[in-house]
């Protein structure tokens, strides 16, 4: 953590701002390492991982399975409850707010240098979305 800066005090939208970028890098890294190299395919696949609906699904799973510490859950709520002036393009308000909370959680873990925990959660999230996509193709 940068000396003198307590990132736990940042508002939820600021945490979500960096969290969005951090999660996107994890997803892009995963896709390229798994052999995806065509830009059109990369974009389409990445979107399925980073959409508001996917992030909302991940938060529902994390909360239902008690995966978060109290502090992590508080950072999620801070992002979810933040008053945003943007309007969701492809999601209802509750889904959009939940995804903002997810991004705030990711941003919080990143800025507080909890890289091991962040990597653990990101790996779990990417696996969850991959399994969900696989299950939906089967049914």
User: What φ, ψ does residue 3 adopt, rounded to 5°?
Assistant: -55, 130
Which entry of 6, 20, 29, 66 is annotated as an active-site residue? 20
Measured CA angle at 21 (ends 132, 32), to 5 deg:
60
- CB atoms under 10 Å from CB of 123, counted, come to 12
20 given a catalytic annotation: yes
Residues 25, 11, 82, 118: is their CA dihedral positive or negative? positive
Give catalytic residues, as residue numbers.
Answer: 20
């Amino acid at each position: 953590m940068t000396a003198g800066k307590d990132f736990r005090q940042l508002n939820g939208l600021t945490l979500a701002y960096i969290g969005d970028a951090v999660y996107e890098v994890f997803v892009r890294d995963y896709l390229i390492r798994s052999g995806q190299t065509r830009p059109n395919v990369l974009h389409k696949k990445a979107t399925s991982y980073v959409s508001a609906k996917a992030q909302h699904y991940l938060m529902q799973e994390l909360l239902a399975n008690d995966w978060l510490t109290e502090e992590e859950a508080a950072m999620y709520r801070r992002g979810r409850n933040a008053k945003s002036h943007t309007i969701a393009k492809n999601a209802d308000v509750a889904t959009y707010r939940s995804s903002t909370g997810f991004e705030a959680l990711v941003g919080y873990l990143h800025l507080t240098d909890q890289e091991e925990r962040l990597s653990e959660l990101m790996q779990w999230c990417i696996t969850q979305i991959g399994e969900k996509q696989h299950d939906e193709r089967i049914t």
